[in-house]
Structure 1
Amino acid sequence: MKKIGIFYGTNTGKTEAVVDEIEFNLKKVDYETINVKNGIEKIKEFENIIMVTPSYGVGEPQEDWVKNLEELKKINFENKKIALVGLGNQFAFGESFVGGMKVLYDIVKENKGEIIGLTSSEGYSFEESEAVINNKFVGLALDENYQDNETPDRIYEWIKEIKK
């Protein structure tokens, strides 16, 4: 497997903890982790990419991702496999749960990237989410406020799938 680039943005540290769990499950796999507050230029160096963002407001990505969206829109993702992880609060923001992940999804799809790692929307309690297409999230959805006890197993199973 080629080296994986893990790109994330965080405000509170919850996303960083999720990234730590992803790294733990990628043992024996070559990866590099980049906080997008330092920019996203390195995305071009990877064919296998994991993008991680919490959602804020009405389904917006984390602020460091927002600052880099125009640059992200200029990247050609052809021949790249991208897996997405979204964090959100399904009860307080049930009408836009993990919507920030969908913003990244749309840009990657528009620029010819292959999205992998879609997950079932079963087991969550939210009103709606733009990040759900055909009953599947466009990546791994996590709720660190109300389902943090499920996060390690969800990440473990998801990593097993995307490693294929």
Structure 2
Amino acid sequence: MSQIGIFFGTDTGTTRLMGKKMAKLLGDDIAAKPLNINRASIDDLLSYPALILGTATYGEGRLPGLETNVRNGSWLEFLPQLEGADFSGKVVALYGLGNQVKYGERYADGMFELYQLFKGMGATIIGDWSTEGYTYQQSKAVVDGRFVGLALDHKTQGLLTEGRMRDWIAQIKPALVAAVEAQAEPA
């Protein structure tokens, strides 16, 4: 059976930890082991019918990478592999980490970068999330009044992380599973 691919960009390991928790919530039978994007190839991503992609936000609202002092590289180094890729028919859910108190003027902006990129390559983006309960000034990741994916502030709202993840996974799981099952059906 096909599975749901989970890929993340991280430096400190928090985005990885969130990916592992999401995989556990989904279940080992349908979620692949989360993989750091700095160890992935474009073929890895394209092999899954459904993806959960995670990132933190660095610097002035950027994706992580060598330019933002992420030791082993991350999304910024992976992006060139995506040139010309077609994600039509793929279902993608996004999660983004940030600190809404310290960086409230660009909270979770990195998630928007992934949203824009994968939507532009034809992916169906699912999993928008309410802005209720967050205290930030501005976020590019808010489109039509909702986050484009699950926004997590594990630093200042850590007590809310588990519940938010559980609710978000319950929200996106049916669409992810449907994408996996559709790929598994004989043509």
1:72 aligns with 2:82: yes
Secondary structure in 2 matching 1:141: strand
> Residues 4-153 of structure 1: matches in 2 within 5 Å?
4-32=4-32, 33-41=34-42, 42-63=44-65, 64-153=74-163
Question: Which protein is bigger by CA-based radius of gyration?
Answer: 2
Aligned-partner Cα distance in 2 for 1:126–1:40 = 34
Q: TM-score, normalised by structure 2?
A: 0.84
Runs (5+) with no aligned partner, structure 2 = 66-73, 175-187
Aligned-partner Cα distance in 2 for 1:66–1:27 = 29
Q: Which amino acid aligns with 2:18?
A: V
Name the counterpart of 1:158.
168
Secondary structure in 1 matching 2:57: strand
Give structure 1 regions of 4+ aligned residues with deviation exceeding 2 angstroms. Answer: none
Q: Which amino acid aligns with 1:30?
A: I
More helix by share: 2
1:80-103 CA-partner distances (Å, limit 9, x unpaired): 000000000001111110011011
Q: Which amino acid aligns with 1:89?
A: N
Equivalent residue pairs, number: 164
More strand by share: 1
Instruction: Answer yes or no: is the 8 Å Cα contact 1:73–1:107 preserved in 2.
Output: no
Instruction: Answer yes or no: is the 8 Å Cα contact 1:2–1:48 preserved in 2.
Output: no
What is the CA distance between 1:106 and its match in structure 2?
A: 0.5
Aligned-partner Cα distance in 1 for 2:29–2:63 = 27
Q: TM-score, normalised by structure 1?
A: 0.95
Aligned-partner Cα distance in 1 for 2:41–2:108 = 21
Aligned-partner Cα distance in 1 for 2:134–2:81 = 33
What is the CA distance between 1:28 and its match in structure 2?
A: 5.0
Question: Compared with structure 1, are the counterparts of its residues 17 and 113 closer, same or farther at alpha carbon in structure 2 (3 Å cutoff)?
Answer: same
Q: Which amino acid aligns with 1:52?
A: G
Question: Compared with structure 1, are the counterparts of its residues 74 and 39 closer, same or farther at alpha carbon in structure 2 (3 Å cutoff)?
Answer: farther
